[in-house]
Amino acid sequence: MPVISRQEYAGLFGPTVGDKIRLGDTNLIIEIEKDLRGYGEESVYGGGKSLRDGMGADNRLTSSGVLDLAITNVTLLDARHGVIKADVGIKNGCIVGIGKCGNPSIMDGVTPGMVVGVGTDVIAGEHLLLTAAGIDTHIHFISPQQAEHALSNGITTFFGGGVGPTDGSNGTTVTAGPWHIHRMLRAFESLPVNVGILGKGHASQAAPLEEQILAGAVGLKVHEDWGATGSALRHALRVADDMDIQVAVHTDSLNEGGYVEDTIDAFEGRTVHTFHTEGAGGGHAPDIIKVASLTNVLPSSTNPTLPFGINSQAELFDMIMVCHNLNPQVPADVAFSESRVRPETIAAENVLHDMGVLSIFSSDSQAMGRVGENWLRVMQTAHAMKAARGKLPEDAEGNDNFRVLRYIAKITINPAIAQGISHVLGSVEIGKMADLVLWDPRFFGAKPKLVIKGGMISWAVMGDPNASLPTPQPTFYRPMFGHQGKVAQETCVTFVSRAAREAGIQDKLGLERRVMVVHNCRAISKGDMVRNAETPRIDVDPETFAVRVNDEHATVKPVKHAVLNQKYFFS
């Protein structure tokens, strides 16, 4: 069999097993672990390449027997698969194959169901990375333009609450009551992302909660600004158990209704998704972070404090004042804000992410967090933790695969599991919706090249539309055809509860988008969090706020220089 050099092979077909790739300007190195294609039979698009009639393409078949879209020779980063080289096949907006595409009539090893033919288009992935699209479970629906900024950083799914820039929406991820829920579901018809609404989880009986779920809310949010009492939590969790939805909680910073132990008692061992579990974004001061050790808690935290930087503390004070309708001239309001900002627990938050104790990474969009920076911040944090803490024990000598995949899991599969949508989204797996992101490795985490939504390119870096090629400057993100007209309704999903679906919410509101049901929100635990299921003992010193994990001080110094930053952005 003819042999070519590794360098020549990489130039033709991209890297393969044993090749290493640096991610952006970070210190993170990935190494391809497995190649599913087969050497000498690679499927490549282009002039003089193999995907031509009678060669790699079987042009005798109708569209029913071939892929709609093939992503060829791409390096796949997925929390479940690992780091692999493969072709990825898409049909009817879903992933149908991960392996080798081509023409089985003349090529060996073509994966069943991955035939290329007349009905197939191709994305050449030889020098690109492929991930599942990101999922943000902590969205304040304050402005519809958030969707475009999120797409620009590889996020295609929103879970949250709000109705626009009301003070309640600015402060809490809550869409209050059936009337608002119905209006927002209709507003989402033209939004180019998947969505799920969180209703207001504050009631002293079941009926006000149940009517929101029947109206189309996909979960309930308990927030301290509305009163995160033990009673509210218990009622919300009981309804959640009955209706198979998730409960998200932002606990009581002032400890007025009880301490962290009282909130834990109110959980009664039931599954709950804790928002900004560190506490700068809100929660029992100073020790809400302790709940991350519980098996029934799915802990997330938000990007304003990740990575922990030299300016993190200073910017948080003003954020809290604006978000929660506080007055810097009122001493009690100042004390409230200051109680939430603790460098010691912020430092520990970063360490706990690196240890796999905090499982989910979200934004808190326009309410202290930045919706278009989730992938950016997650990779910056991974870099900062490697620089501060060294290699993880799970990583091999020459790569950072485990660490990179741990952080990717926080923004893809784990939020999908927490919100009951992992059967649809969250990983690059056969049968799932083709919400995918293609990255140039030089820009990984900062700027995606293409965002695929339900099998169609929705958002992309595009040059001057009047130019002779797609590449001439100015190049910036532009909506593509998958973003236009009624296509977005076919490629985007509105998530609701089973009860709402069975009650006919789609027909009642005349929704033209795909409506899908969340499920298995209750029978899950921390152990289901992929690569992020650790439950160590966590203690917080009430005087110094120092955090100890299994008796070891969990801390790092704030970073002075962030990667994927000024080299990549003008501002």
How far from 398 is each of 22, 131, 401, CA to CA, in Å? 12, 22, 9
Q: Are 57 and 70 in contact (CB under 8 A)?
A: no
- The backbone torsions φ and ψ at residue 283, rounded to the nearest 5 degrees and listed phi first, read 135, 165
To the question of whether residue 223 is assigned a binding role by annotation, the answer is yes
CA angle 259/168/181 to nearest 5° reads 110
For 307: left if phi > 0, alpha if psi spans -120 to 50, otherwise beta; the answer is: beta
Find where tokens 């490697």 sit.
386
To the question of whether residue 553 is assigned a binding role by annotation, the answer is no
CA 48 to chain centre: 39
Active site residue ranges: 324
Q: Are 153 and 199 in contact (CB under 8 A)?
A: no
Q: Is residue 222 classed exposed, middle or buried when 0-12, 13-18 and 19+ CB atoms within 10 A define those classes?
A: buried
To the question of whether residue 138 is assigned a binding role by annotation, the answer is yes
Asked if the bond preceding 474 is cis, omega within 30° of 0, the reply is: yes
To the question of whether residue 180 is assigned a binding role by annotation, the answer is no
What DSSP line would sit under 448-501, residue for residue? -SEEEETTEEEEEEE--TTSSSS-SSSPEEEE-GGGSTTHHHHH-EEEE-HHHH
* Beta pairing, strands 94-99 & 82-91: antiparallel
Q: Residue 549: beta bridge partners? A: 538, 552
3-state secondary structure labels for all residues of 150-208: HHCCCEEEEEEECCCCCHHHHHCCCECHHHHHHHHHHHHHHCCCEEEEEEECCCCCCHH
Three-state DSSP class for residue 122: strand
Measured CA to CA, the distance from residue 142 to residue 474 in angstroms comes to 30
To the question of whether residue 140 is assigned a binding role by annotation, the answer is yes
Measured CA to CA, the distance from residue 97 to residue 115 in angstroms comes to 10
To the question of whether residue 250 is assigned a binding role by annotation, the answer is yes
Element (H, E) at 228: none
Q: How many residues does the chain have?
A: 571
Q: Which residues are annotated as a binding site for Ni(2+)?
A: 138, 140, 221, 250, 276, 364
Q: Which residues are annotated as a binding site for substrate?
A: 223
Q: Which residues are annotated as a binding site?
A: 138, 140, 221, 223, 250, 276, 364
